[in-house]
């Protein structure tokens, strides 16, 4: 996806017209693809840095869990991370409309992260970086028990972290209800899973009209009250500034990741 196209969009509905046209059928240049299942959406692209990686970052794209949004959203971030010395694992998964939803999407994210065990990467530091619905999936994955590859931290970029409130507010045009497919189970809602044993860093644009700032505020408030290590960084900008690798906000996120890998 061209950066100028992304930054000019203000709603996921419009964004889908662009991402649908630039879905990548195979690994992009410079990446190695690993399939972690038989479904066409069960894969991850690995971007390696020059030299020894400083850690691994699992990039989890957003799009309100809908099939029209794909891992091309995470590709620019993965490339930038590799240039900054990280091994970046750009993860695709089944979404609502192509076999996803609860539990398939969650199963895929878990399996996709665990597939890192098949690589030669040092898994001492494995962080998740997720935008919007990807923020939900990143923080959910950080709370998994019995994982083959446990996450050591997560950065939520304007994440949907309070599913109950998101459903009440109608975020994504009923996206939560479509994703959950029934009564909301506490085990899929990050807000109801605090405290986590690993640190969570939330970052959110003050002008975000797609996922309100209150989503991150509520999560961090609940997490810290429960004794968890969670922080919120508020930045100037909208929902999409967080996934613009040329922005100052991206540098802030790189700093958050670096601190989590120390």
Q: If you write DSSP's letter for every residue of 50-89 in order, what string do you get?
A: SSS-S-EEEEE--STTBTTS-GGGTHHHHHHHHHTT-EEE
Position of tokens 């700093």?
A: 255
Q: Which two tokens stand for residue 169?
A: 């507010």
Position of tokens 């959406």?
A: 41
Q: Is residue 16 part of a domain?
A: no
- What would the mean pLDDT of 173-197 be, rounded to a whole number? 97
168: part of which helix (H) or strand (E)? helix 163-168
Tens of pLDDT along 41-78?
Answer: 999 999 999 999 999 999 999 999 999 999 999 999 99
What is the structure's pLDDT at 17? 33
- Smallest CA-to-CA distance from 66 within 161, 176, 169 is with 176
Interior CA angle at 250 toward 247 and 209, to 5°?
80
What is the structure's pLDDT at 27? 79
Give the bridge partners for 44, in sequence order: 34, 91
Q: What's the number of domains the chain is made of? A: 1
Burial of 128 (0-12, 13-18, 19+ CB in 10 A): buried
Task: Please check the confidence at residue 122 and state whether its pLDDT lies above 50.
Answer: yes
What is the structure's pLDDT at 25? 56
Q: Is residue 134 part of a domain?
A: yes
The domain that holds 240 is classified in CATH as: 3.40.50.1820
- What would the mean pLDDT of 104-120 be, rounded to a whole number? 98
Q: Which two tokens stand for residue 186?
A: 């506490």
CA distance 16 to 67: 9
Q: Is residue 6 part of a domain?
A: no
Q: Is residue 235 part of a domain?
A: yes
Strand locations in 111-259 (E): 126-131, 153-157, 200-205, 230-235
**CA 202 and chain centroid, separation:** 11
CA distance 142 to 106: 12
Q: Is residue 39 part of a domain?
A: yes
User: Strand 153-157 vs strand 56-60: parallel, antiparallel, or unpaired?
Assistant: unpaired
CA distance 174 to 134: 17
Residue span of the structural domain in which 251 resides: 31-261
257: part of which helix (H) or strand (E)? helix 248-260
- Per-state percent for the chain, helix, strand, coil, to nearest 5: 40, 15, 45
Q: Is residue 18 part of a domain?
A: no
Q: Is residue 179 part of a domain?
A: yes
Tens of pLDDT along 226-262?
Answer: 999 999 999 999 999 999 999 999 999 999 999 999 9
């Amino acid at each position: 996806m061209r950066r100028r196209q992304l930054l000019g969009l203000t709603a996921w509905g419009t964004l889908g017209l662009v991402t649908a046209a630039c879905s990548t059928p195979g690994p992009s240049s410079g990446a190695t693809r690993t399939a972690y299942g038989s479904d066409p959406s069960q894969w991850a692209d690995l971007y390696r840095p020059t030299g020894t990686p400083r850690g691994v970052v699992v990039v989890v794209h957003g799009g309100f869990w809908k099939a029209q949004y794909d891992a091309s959203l995470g590709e620019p971030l993965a490339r930038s991370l590799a240039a900054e010395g990280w091994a970046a694992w750009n993860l695709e998964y089944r979404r609502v409309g192509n076999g996803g939803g609860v539990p398939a999407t969650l199963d895929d994210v878990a399996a996709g992260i665990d597939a890192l065990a098949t690589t030669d990467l040092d898994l001492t530091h494995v962080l998740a970086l997720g935008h919007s619905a990807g923020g939900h999936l990143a923080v959910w994955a950080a709370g998994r028990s019995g994982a083959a590859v446990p996450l050591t931290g997560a950065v939520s970029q304007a994440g949907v972290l309070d599913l109950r409130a998101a459903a009440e507010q109608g975020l994504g045009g009923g996206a939560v209800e479509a994703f959950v497919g029934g009564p909301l189970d506490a085990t899929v809602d990050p807000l109801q899973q605090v405290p986590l044993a690993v640190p969570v860093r939330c970052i959110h644009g003050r002008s975000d009209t797609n996922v309100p700032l209150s989503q991150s505020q509520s999560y961090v408030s609940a997490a810290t009250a429960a004794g968890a290590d969670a922080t919120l960084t508020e930045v100037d900008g909208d929902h999409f500034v967080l996934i613009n690798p040329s922005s100052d906000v991206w540098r802030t996120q790189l700093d958050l990741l670096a601190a989590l890998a120390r």
